[in-house]
Structure 1
Amino acid sequence: MIEIADIREWRTHDVVDRGGRTIGALEAVYVDTSTDEPAMATVQVGLPTRRHLVFVPLTGALVGPGYIKVAYDRSHVKKCPSIGMDDVLPAEDEAAIFAHYSLPYKPGANGERQLARR
């Protein structure tokens, strides 16, 4: 398991796919609000003048020297619903991100978000 204190230190480091191909730079970590454990990361992708953030699950991620290797292919990650560099993920868009990765989405009993940025 990746500890949240450790992964924060990797901000701006490369995020690579399971084949070792670079996806982009780690921008932020999102935790599961029910466990406070790292659940997703945002990765900067796109051209320098048109960057945006995509989400990728941290389940099964490995930390190496200067990179974080995720368990998904680069092409799949880059097709994930995205947000702008300065945007916040709207609560109503969370379910689409989980669906993109075929992961169960479990909001709180009162509709609370499943993800929180740390």
Structure 2
Amino acid sequence: MIEAADIREWRTHQVIDPGGHKIGVLEAIYVDTSTDEPAMATVQVGLPTRHRLVFVPLDGAIVGPGYVKVSYDKSLVKDCPAIGTDDVLPATDEEAVFQHYGLAYQSGTAGERQLARR
């Protein structure tokens, strides 16, 4: 289990796929609003002049010294719906991120978001 107290230390860690390929730099952690457990991370990818943030689930993630290894291949992560580096994921687009990875999406009973940034 990943400890939520440690997530602030992950910022700027390299994010790598199961094969050890660098995906990008960890920008932020998003928690599941129903459990307050880390659920997804945003990863800064792209060229130095054209960065964007993509989402990657943290299920099965391993944290090491200076890196976070995720369970998803680099090509799948880079094809995920993205936001600008200064943008916020619109609530209406949240479900598309989950669908991209084949994960179930469930908003709150009153339509609350499933993800919250930490």
TM-score interval (norm. to shorter): over 0.9
C-alpha distance after superposition, 1:59-96 (max 9, x if no partner): 00001111000000000000000000000010000000
Secondary structure at the counterpart of residue 110 of structure 2: coil
C-alpha separation between the residues in 1 aligned to 2:28 and 2:18?
Answer: 20
CA drift at 1:5: 1.7
Task: State whether structure 2 residue 14 is matched by structure 1 residue 11.
Answer: no
Q: TM-score, normalised by structure 1?
A: 0.98
User: Map of 1:1-118 to 2, 5 A cutoff?
Assistant: 1-118=1-118
Deviations 1:42-74 (A, max 9, x none): 000000000000000000000111100000000
**Structure 1 vs Structure 2 CA RMSD:** 0.5
Give the distance between the partners of 2:70 and 2:8, measured in 1 at CA: 16
Matches of 2:54 and 2:17, distance apart in 1: 13
Letter in 2 for 1:80: C
> What TM-score do the two structures reach when normalised by structure 2?
0.98
Counterpart of 1:45 in structure 2: which amino acid?
A: V
Moved over 2 A (4+): none
Aligned-partner Cα distance in 2 for 1:88–1:34: 20
Alignment coverage as a number of residue pairs: 118
Shift of 1:7: 2.2
- The aligned amino acid for 1:101 is Y
Q: Name stretches of at least 5 consecutive residues in structure 1 with no aligned partner.
A: none
Gaps of 5+ in 2: none
- Name the CA distance, whole Å, in 1 between partners of 2:7 and 2:19: 20
Identity of aligned residues (%): 75
